[in-house]
Amino acid sequence: MEQLSMNKLLQLKDGTCRTALVTGAAGGIGSATAKALSNHGAKVMVTDVNEAALSALVDEIRAEGGEAMAAALDVGDPESWQQARQQVFDSWGPLSILVNNAGIDVVKSVADTSLADWDRLFRVNSTGMFLGTQCFLDDLHAAGQAGGVRSSIINMSSICGNVGVAFQSAYSATKGAVRMFTKAAAVEFGTLGLQLRINSIHPGTVDTAFAAQCLTELGEAGFAPSPAEARAAIRAAHPIGDMAQGDEIADAIVFLASDLSRFMTGSEMMVDGGYTAQ
């Protein structure tokens, strides 16, 4: 079997660059993912509701020699998805890599979680993933047919989609939905003969601003006497003894986007420092 280049995993054999869209690209994991995809040869559209952060990210990618563009995207709005899809298609043709990364959290007990909290989390974390997959399905299949390499969808789940965590009931429910949607869709897409793969990624705690806010809220919720002690407890809960960095999750996403994972679909990749091995 032909050896794949480790430098440009996302270029086709003829040198053509694959095209990628990353949601939630203003955050720690999203921005690291966009840069990693670009470093491996992909053209990248970065999307988020934080347009100022997107502009800075595009400038950073271009300064490193990559090709990138940005779009404001509300992942819970079908029309917003259609606008992003048209922008990608008009510029680069059909998309070949979709990273459904956008996510939010609410750290509350079951008793204190409101219906509005529940609905807001599902709108971003689960419905957004569904709408993105549905919006780009035909394009991803077309890109897979044209390039001779299956397109790839990577859905951001979490260890909370696999194990229970106190004060995370709503968030866990959304990530469990991501996990099972991915598996069912993989079987369906294979049955239909679509030229794409779909997998989920399940990080442990990642050292980002998102996690810092969650740890603060966990401390306030009584998980630990202070945010600092909550952070120490979370680090100790991972057998590897630390939290992940955003680029470590991004590297796993590049693997799932590339042909190195060509026999993987419907899989859940745990990047959790051993958390779920316990």
pLDDT tens digit sequence for 159-176: 999 999 989 999 999 999
pLDDT band at 147; cut points 50, 70, 90: confident
Give CA–CA dist 118/169, Å, rounded: 9
Task: Tell which wins on pLDDT, 149 or 99.
Answer: 99
Task: Determine the average pLDDT of the residues in 240-251.
Answer: 95
Q: CB-hemisphere CA count at 13 Å for 155? A: 34
Q: Label residues 173-204 b or e (16+ Cβ within 10 Å = b).
A: bbbbbbbebbbebbeebeeeebbbbbbbbbbb
Average pLDDT over residues 88-107: 97
Active-site residue 171, yes or no?
Answer: yes
How many CA within 13 A on the CB side of residue 183?
10
Domain 19-204+245-272, CATH: 3.40.50.720
pLDDT of residue 2: 40
Report the pLDDT value the prediction gives residue 231, as an integer from 0 to 100: 83
CB neighbourhood size of 12 (10 A): 16
Tokens of 205: 């705690």
Per-residue confidence band for 7, with pLDDT thresholds at 50, 70 and 90: low
Q: Which residues pair with 153 in a beta bridge?
A: 98, 198
Domain extent listing, the chain:
19-204+245-272, 206-243
- Nearest alpha-carbon partner for 186 in 117, 116, 273, 268: 268
Residue 14: the pLDDT is 63
- The tens digit of pLDDT for each residue in 173-205 reads 999 999 999 999 999 999 999 999 999 999 999
Question: What CA–CA distance (Å, rounded) separates 270 from 187?
Answer: 20
All residues at 6 or more sequence positions from 162 whose CB lies less than 8 Å from its CB, including other chains:
176, 179, 202, 268, 270, 276
Q: Which residue has the higher pLDDT, 211 or 105?
A: 105
Q: Choose, from 171, 210, 223, 255, the residue flagged as catalytic.
A: 171
